[in-house]
C-alpha cells in the first residue's frame, strides 16, 4: 500500500518502465561515439531490438521498489540476471542470423559490461527518490486499526518503522466482540464510525472475527464512509510456510502452509536440477566407476545400496548410494551409523567422510525423485518414528528431497542421537521452505562444496 498521491506514482511507474531501455540504448550510442565506430543500420537494429528485450525483461515491472530489501533478488541481483538473459538472447539471435561480424566486438563487450552497472545505479536512485516521496507526511494515507491481535500489532509497528509505506495510523481501537453486552458493542461501533467520519480516515484495518455479528454491523456502518477497508486475518498462531492469498473462482483463500515450488518456481528448480545434475554426473562418472570397482574388490555385497525413503508428498522412492557398510538395512528398524561404527568398511569410512557415497543420487536427481538441494530424505522407519514425536515433521515432504540441504550446511548432518537433534534438523528444513529461492539453492551448493573435506559430522 503506497502513498495516496496517484499522480506522483503514475510518474514513477512510467519512469520505471522506460528507464531500462533508455539506459541500454543511451550506453550503446555513447560507446559508438566514444570509440569512433561507424554507425550503420546494424546498430540501429541492435538498439531497437535490445530496447524491446530490455523492456520485456526489466522494464515491464512498473513498481518502484519502495521497501528496501536485502534478499538475493534485490535491485542488483535481479538486474544482473535479467540483463544476462537479454545478452544471451542477443547472442543467440546474432548466431542464428550470422550478423555478429557486423559489430565491433570491443564496443559490444563494453556495452555488455557497462550497461548493467549504469542500470543498477539509475534504478537505485529512482527507488530512493520514490521512497522519499512516499515517506513524506503529506503523502501518507490516514488510517486506523480496529481490534487487537498479534498481526494488527505488527502492522502498527511496521507502519511506524517504514514511512515509505505511506500509512499514518492515527489510532488503534481496542474493540472487542462482547455477545453479553450489545449496548457496549453498539457504542464501540458508533465511536469508530464517528471518528472515521470526523477525521476523514482513508483506510480502516479490521482485526476482528469476520463472522461475528458485531463485525458485520461495523462493516455496514463504515459503508457510510469513503474509507478503504482491509481485513487482517489473525493467523499468528500458525507456523506459516509460503503463506499467500489467492482465490478459487472468486472465493478468497489464504494459504497457510504451501509448497514454494509451483508454477515458474517448479520449472526453474527442475531445469536447474537437470542441467547441473547432468554436468555433475558427466564429471563424476570416472570417479564413480573407480569407486564401484574399489567397493567390489574390498568387500562382499552389492556396489549400490538402495533404501526406501519418503519423497515429495510422502511418496516412497528408492534412494541410491554407494554401499559403505557390511549390511544393507531396509526394514522396519534401521540403526543409524555412529562414530567408529563397526559396520562401516574402511573404504566406506572414506566415502562417507567425503560424501562420495552420495554420488549415485545424481541418478535420483535426473529421474525427478530427488533434487540437488532440499530436505534430506530419511529412511521410512525413521519417518514413521519421528512423525509421531515432532509436530509438523511431514511438512518437509512438500518439496522434493535433496542431496544436500540447509540443515546439512548448518551442522545438522549424520547421526541424530537425540530427539532435539532431529527437531533442529526439521527446523532448518522448514526454514528452507519458508525462504526458498534459486539463489538460496546456489548458496547451499557452494557451502556444501566448502564442507566436503572438513565436516566433522560426516562419519
| Angle ∠(221,222,223) on CA atoms, nearest 5 | 90
Question: What does the block give as the cell for 179?
Answer: 455477545
- What is the pTM assigned to this prediction? 0.58
Sorted by where each begins, the domain ranges of the chain are 6-135, 140-237, 264-451
**Does residue 414 contact residue 353 with C-beta atoms inside 8 Å?**
no
DSSP 138: G
Q: Is 247 helix (H, G, I), strand (E, B) or coil?
A: strand
Question: DSSP readout, 55-102?
Answer: IIIIIT------S---STTSHHHHHHHHHHHHHHHHHHHHHHHT-GGG
Which CATH superfamily, name and number, covers 140-237?
NAD(P)-binding Rossmann-like Domain (3.40.50.720)
- Do 54 and 20 form a contact (C-beta atoms < 8 A)? yes
Rounded to whole angstroms, the Cα distance separating 455 from 307 reads 24
Q: What is the pLDDT along the chain (459 residues), one digit of tens a residue?
A: 444 455 666 677 788 888 999 999 999 999 999 998 888 899 999 999 999 999 888 766 545 555 444 344 567 878 888 898 899 999 988 888 888 888 999 999 999 999 999 999 998 898 888 888 877 877 788 899 988 877 788 888 888 888 877 788 888 888 655 544 444 467 777 888 889 888 888 888 888 877 777 778 888 888 777 788 888 877 655 566 776 776 655 666 667 677 787 767 788 888 889 989 999 999 999 999 999 999 989 888 889 988 888 888 788 899 999 988 877 655 555 556 666 677 888 888 888 888 898 999 999 999 999 999 999 998 888 888 888 888 888 888 888 999 999 998 988 877 677 888 899 999 999 999 988 888 889 889 988 888 876 666 554
Let me know if 79 is exposed, middle or buried by CB neighbors in 10 A (0-12, 13-18, 19+): buried
Beta bridge partners of 143: 169, 203
Amino acid at each position: 500500500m503506497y502513498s495516496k498521491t496517484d499522480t506522483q506514482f503514475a510518474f514513477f511507474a512510467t519512469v520505471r518502465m522506460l528507464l531500462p531501455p533508455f539506459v541500454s540504448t543511451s550506453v550503446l550510442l555513447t560507446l559508438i561515439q566514444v570509440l569512433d565506430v561507424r554507425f550503420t543500420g546494424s546498430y540501429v537494429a541492435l538498439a531497437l531490438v535490445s530496447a524491446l528485450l530490455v523492456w520485456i525483461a526489466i522494464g515491464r515491472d512498473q513498481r518502484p521498489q519502495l521497501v528496501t530489501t536485502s534478499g538475493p533478488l534485490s535491485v542488483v541481483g535481479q538486474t544482473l540476471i535479467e540483463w544476462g538473459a537479454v545478452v544471451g538472447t542477443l547472442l543467440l539471435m546474432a548466431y542464428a542470423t550470422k550478423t555478429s561480424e557486423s559489430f565491433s566486438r570491443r564496443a559490444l563487450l563494453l556495452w555488455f559490461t557497462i550497461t548493467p552497472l549504469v542500470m543498477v545505479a539509475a534504478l537505485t536512485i529512482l527507488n530512493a527518490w520514490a521512497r522519499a516521496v512516499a515517506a513524506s507526511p503529506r503523502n501518507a494515507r490516514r488510517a486506523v486499526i480496529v481490534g487487537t491481535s498479534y498481526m494488527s500489532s505488527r502492522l502498527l509497528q511496521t507502519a511506524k518503522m517504514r514511512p515509505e509505506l505511506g500509512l499514518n495510523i492515527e489510532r488503534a481501537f481496542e474493540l472487542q466482540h462482547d455477545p453479553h453486552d450489545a449496548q457496549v458493542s453498539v457504542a464501540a461501533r458508533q465511536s469508530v464510525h464517528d471518528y472515521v467520519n470526523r477525521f476523514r480516515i482513508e483506510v480502516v484495518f479490521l482485526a476482528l472475527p469476520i463472522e461475528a455479528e458485531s463485525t458485520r454491523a461495523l462493516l455496514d456502518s463504515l459503508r457510510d464512509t469513503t474509507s478503504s477497508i482491509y481485513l487482517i486475518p489473525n493467523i499468528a498462531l500458525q507456523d506459516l510456510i509460503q503463506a499467500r492469498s489467492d482465490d478459487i473462482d472468486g472465493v478468497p483463500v489464504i494459504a497457510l502452509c504451501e509448497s514454494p515450488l509451483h508454477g515458474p518456481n517448479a520449472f526453474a528448480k527442475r531445469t536447474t536440477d537437470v542441467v547441473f545434475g547432468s554436468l555433475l554426473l558427466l564429471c563424476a562418472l570416472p570417479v564413480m566407476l573407480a569407486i564401484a570397482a574399489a567397493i567390489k574388490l574390498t568387500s562382499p555385497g552389492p556396489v549400490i545400496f538402495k533404501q526406501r525413503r519418503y519423497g515429495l508428498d510422502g511418496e516412497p522412492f528408492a534412494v541410491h548410494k554407494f554401499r559403505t557398510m557390511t549390511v544393507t538395512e531396509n526394514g522396519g528398524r534401521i540403526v543409524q551409523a555412529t562414530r567408529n561404527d563397526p559396520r562401516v568398511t574402511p573404504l566406506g569410512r572414506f566415502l562417507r567422510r567425503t560424501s562420495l557415497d552420495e554420488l549415485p543420487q545424481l541418478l535420483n536427481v535426473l529421474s525427478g525423485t530427488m533434487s540437488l538441494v532440499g530436505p534430506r530424505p530419511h529412511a521410512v522407519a525413521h519417518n514413521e518414528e519421528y512423525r509421531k514425536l515432532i509436530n509438523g515433521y511431514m511438512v518437509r515432504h512438500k518439496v522434493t528431497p535433496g542431496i544436500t540441504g540447509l540443515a546439512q550446511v548448518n551442522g545438522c548432518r549424520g547421526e541424530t542421537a537425540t530427539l532435539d537433534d532431529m527437531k533442529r534438523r526439521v527446523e532448518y528444513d522448514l526454514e528452507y521452505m519458508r525462504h526458498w529461492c534459486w539463489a538460496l539453492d546456489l548458496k547451499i551448493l557452494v557451502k556444501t562444496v566448502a564442507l566436503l573435506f572438513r565436516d566433522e559430522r560426516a562419519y
